[in-house]
């Protein structure tokens, strides 16, 4: 196992960073937390941009000052730094499938679908009046829900009847899938039965309950 590092985790409760939070707690790593208030623009402040010029979140600062960004990169680093935890399978094909599912969740379910639901304004054309803005917003959010629903159907077809994405052990893909399932639950977006079952299995894990409690969800 790699030596323990003093990590600083930049996160927002209830966001995609919840997935990384689950991985950190699963590994029982020592880390400090800096909470970013996204609506307040904390991710655009000079101090944070000096560490992460992308202004993205989550981010993980290592003890040597290097900063990792992007969900998939942070998850991969954690899995490879602490391989005994089994967050990424040793078998190359299975590991590739885990990475593919994680990328699909982050890039499509989150990056294409949920962004249209949660950050609708970024998709609006310029110069709309109030009535047009309302119509466009409703259409964009409906499109986002449709995209998420169709993506969940794709994911559901690959999920096992029990256990997790890659078997009995938690993987990086499970942590990613959980945060979008959590979002779907919070906004009342129906999930296919395999995704709902995966979500319930994740919620039953003590470490997931701990993370949700720490982030203010009971």
pLDDT in tens, 24-65: 999 999 999 999 998 899 999 999 999 999 999 999 999 999
The reported pLDDT for the residue numbered 137 is 97
Query: Which strands form 67-69's sheet, in the order they lie side by side?
Result: 31-35, 7-11, 59-61, 67-69
Q: Determine the average pLDDT of the residues in 126-148.
A: 96
Beta bridge partners of 9: 33, 60
Task: Pick the closest to residue 26 from 160, 196, 174, 216 (CA basis).
Answer: 174
Q: What CATH architecture applies to the domain 7-85?
A: 3-Layer(aba) Sandwich (3.40)
User: What's the CA gap between 72 and 134, in Å, rounded?
Assistant: 34
* 69 within 8 A of 59, measured Cβ to Cβ: yes
The reported pLDDT for the residue numbered 5 is 55
Tell which wins on pLDDT, 117 or 2.
Answer: 117
CB neighbour list of residue 21: distance below 8 Å, 6 or more residues apart? 9, 11, 211, 214, 215
User: What's the CA gap between 134 and 141, in Å, rounded?
Assistant: 11
Give kind and range of the element (H or E) at residue 33.
Answer: strand 31-35
* 168 within 8 A of 94, measured Cβ to Cβ: no
pLDDT band for position 198 (cuts 50, 70, 90) = very high
- Across 45-79, b (16+ Cβ under 10 Å) vs e yields eeebeeebeebebbbbbeeeeebbbebbebbbebb
Predicted model pTM: 0.94
Q: Determine the average pLDDT of the residues in 97-123.
A: 98
User: What's the CA gap between 181 and 164, in Å, rounded?
Assistant: 14
- Give me the chain's average pLDDT, please: 95
The reported pLDDT for the residue numbered 158 is 95
Pick the CATH number of 92-205 from 3.90.230.10, 1.20.1050.10, 3.40.50.300, 3.40.50.720: 1.20.1050.10
Q: For the chain, where do the domains classified as CATH 3.40.30.10 start and end?
A: 7-85
Task: Pick the closest to residue 72 from 110, 38, 37 (CA basis).
Answer: 110
Phi, psi (rounded to 5 degrees) for 80: -80, -25
User: What's the CA gap between 12 and 35, in Å, rounded?
Assistant: 6
Query: Residue 1 pLDDT more than 60?
Result: no
Query: Which stretches of 129-177 are assigned E, i.e. beta strand?
Result: none
Q: For the chain, where do the domains classified as CATH 1.20.1050.10 start and end?
A: 92-205
């Amino acid at each position: 196992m790699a030596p323990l590092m003093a990590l600083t985790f930049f996160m927002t409760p209830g966001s995609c960073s919840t997935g990384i939070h689950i991985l950190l707690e699963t590994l029982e790593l020592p880390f400090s937390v800096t909470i970013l208030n996204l609506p307040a623009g904390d991710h655009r402040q000079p101090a944070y941009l000096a560490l992460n010029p992308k202004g993205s979140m989550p981010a993980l600062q290592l003890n040597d000052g290097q900063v990792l960004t992007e969900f998939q990169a942070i998850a991969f680093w954690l899995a490879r730094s602490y391989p005994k935890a089994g967050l990424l399978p040793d078998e190359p094909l299975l590991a590739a499938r885990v990475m593919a599912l994680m990328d699909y969740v982050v890039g499509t379910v989150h990056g294409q679908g949920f962004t249209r639901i949660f950050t609708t304004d970024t998709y609006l054309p310029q110069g709309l009046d109030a009535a047009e803005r309302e119509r466009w917003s409703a259409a964009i959010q409906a499109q986002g829900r449709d995209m998420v629903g169709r993506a969940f159907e794709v994911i559901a077809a690959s999920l096992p009847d029990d256990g997790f994405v890659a078997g009995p052990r938690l993987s990086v893909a499970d942590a990613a899938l959980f945060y979008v399932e959590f979002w779907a639950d919070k906004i009342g977006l129906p999930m296919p039965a395999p995704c709902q079952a995966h979500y319930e299995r994740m919620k039953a894990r003590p470490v997931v309950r701990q993370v949700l409690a720490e982030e203010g969800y009971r």
